Amino acid sequence: MRTLIITPHPPFPAQQGAALRNLGLLHCLKLFGAQVTLLTFSDSDSLPDEAPARLADLCEQVIYAPAPPRSMPQRLRDLLLTREPDLARRLDSSEFVRRLTDLLQSRGFDLVQFEGLETASYAPIVRRIQPTARIVYDAHNAEFALQRSMARVESLSLWRLPAALYSRTQARRITQFERAVCERADAVIAVSQDDAEHLSSLETSTPIHTLPNGIFADDYMAGGNHLELSGIPLVFTGKMDYRPNVDAIQWFAEAIFGDILTQHSEAKLYVVGQAVHGNLLVLQQSNPRIAFTGWVESVKPFLHHATVFVAPLRMGSGTRLKILEAMAAGCAIVATTVAISGLEDAVRDALIVADTAQGFSSAVSQLIGDSGARQRLSVAARRYACERYDWSILAPRLRQIYAGLGVG
């Protein structure tokens, strides 16, 4: 199966949700014996030294195109002067068009798969040059539904009303754009049943399949990673300029953490992830019990040393890879319903769900004081991740999707 995978950034190093999913998909394609070409946005000289070899092991060919700069003035101009969503222009690049066109004119593909909505704006080029290639849109989120959830939460605060208005505008625009993308594809893959239902509401004729996010569970077994964390470590992971993550930490710091500190003064929140938003740094200045790590080579040592993993998300869609990683690492987890949306209902046996500030702080405090409960959740979480979300379990489902398209 001659396959072209198009991603918004390299799948390795896999330090955020999209990259983790894309790396897993590449492993599946290698397992299937596919001949894979990866076309991705990146300045290749900015990648870690081991990245080319790791990707070369999974792909016959890797082609990089420079990530296009996109300034705030450009985004504001498009918001005011066009009806296109921000996502449609995020990766707008004439150089990428040239490299994609050259590739399609020089090599035929059975399958072309777009990872995420921002890459799918290039699907018409594939359809024009290679009309017989099967096009798959892998929807990492139901983006219009994600924007709606952002608008709902942002509207709860007066000073965040501009962000709410922005999300409402984007939700309307993305609905039209995402509908067109789905209609253009031969198959759509959603990462959860909830997202599949959202995408089905767009009423396109394209079949929609569900393939949840997955992980390589064995990679998260505790090893010899030594890490010095002070106090009672509470851990959150994620890219920290992503609005759902920013909101989660703001809510935790302002409405939840104080009650936890009243009972456990040694508790300390470690926010593990790159690109820390400026609004969050104020929290660290006002509360020394909050630490932002910035970029780290791996989140695994933090997961292995966490007393409790917290996921106080109030907005989002899809399947949270941060939850799967924490489960595979055997963390005791407290999460909101939003944070575990997209996972099977049985996940509630492997963590504690709390949706109010009081309920969340109470659950975390109780787990801090109950090592037996933490151990029970740890075992259940690890088992659940291995049995339901390891890529070895999910790979056959992906192969069935391709078989339905007559490829693979």
Average pLDDT of 269-278? 92
Which DSSP helix (H) or strand (E) runs through 256? none
Q: Report d(CA 162, CA 155) in Å as an integer.
A: 9
Q: Report pLDDT for 13.
A: 82
Range(s) of the chain covered by CATH 3.40.50.2000: 2-214+391-404, 218-388
Q: Strands (DSSP E) along 140-284, which ranges?
A: 187-190, 208-210, 232-237, 267-272
Q: Report d(CA 360, CA 340) in Å as an integer.
A: 14
Contact predicate 36/29, CB 8 Å: yes
Q: Which of 165, 154, 138 is nearest to 25 (CA)?
A: 138
Contact predicate 209/148, CB 8 Å: no
Q: How many residues does the chain have?
A: 408
Q: Report pLDDT for 158.
A: 86
- Mind listing the pLDDT tens digit for each residue in 15-25? 788 999 999 99
**Burial classification of residue 364, based on how many CB atoms lie within 10 Å of its CB (0-12 exposed, 13-18 middle, 19 or more buried):** buried
Q: Report d(CA 304, CA 277) in Å as an integer.
A: 25
Strands of the sheet with 35-41, listed across from one edge: 61-65, 35-41, 2-7, 111-115, 134-139, 187-190, 208-210
Q: Report pLDDT for 268.
A: 97
Per the listing, tokens 């300029």 go with 241
Per the listing, tokens 């067109």 go with 180
DSSP letter at 240? Answer: T
Helices and strands, counts by H and E, the chain: 17, 13
Which DSSP helix (H) or strand (E) runs through 101? helix 94-106
Share of the chain above pLDDT 90, in %: 79
Q: Which CATH architecture has domain 2-214+391-404?
A: 3-Layer(aba) Sandwich (3.40)
Q: Which of 315, 338, 326 is nearest to 385 (CA)?
A: 326
Average pLDDT of 223-242? 88
DSSP letter at 66? Answer: P
The structure tokens listed for 64 are 């990089």
CA distance readout (Å), 20 to 12, 16, 322: 8, 6, 10
Q: Report pLDDT for 201.
A: 97
Q: pTM, whole model, 2 decimals?
A: 0.92
Residue 224 pLDDT > 70: no
pLDDT band at 82 (very low <50, low <70, confident <90, very high): confident
Contact predicate 92/149, CB 8 Å: no
Residue 45 pLDDT > 80: no
CA distance readout (Å), 269 to 85, 230, 292: 35, 10, 8
Contact predicate 183/305, CB 8 Å: no
Enumerate residues 6+ apart whose C-beta is below 8 A from 188: 136, 137, 139, 182, 199, 204, 206, 207, 208, 209
Contact predicate 29/68, CB 8 Å: no
Secondary structure class of 42 (helix, strand, coil): coil
The structure tokens listed for 357 are 């500030």
pLDDT band at 307 (very low <50, low <70, confident <90, very high): very high
Contact predicate 146/210, CB 8 Å: no
Residue 251 pLDDT > 80: yes
Q: Is the dihedral angle over the CA atoms 48, 50, 56, 59 positive or is it negative?
A: negative
Q: Per mean pLDDT, which range of 148-152, 177-181, 267-271, 279-283 is the poorest?
A: 279-283
Q: Which of 293, 343, 294 is nearest to 323 (CA)?
A: 343
Average pLDDT of 208-220? 95
Tally Cβ neighbours within 10 Å of residue 133.
20
Q: Report pLDDT for 44.
A: 59
CATH code reported for the domain at 218-388: 3.40.50.2000
Contact predicate 276/237, CB 8 Å: no
CA distance readout (Å), 261 to 81, 114, 253, 335, 360: 48, 45, 11, 18, 13
**Burial classification of residue 196, based on how many CB atoms lie within 10 Å of its CB (0-12 exposed, 13-18 middle, 19 or more buried):** buried
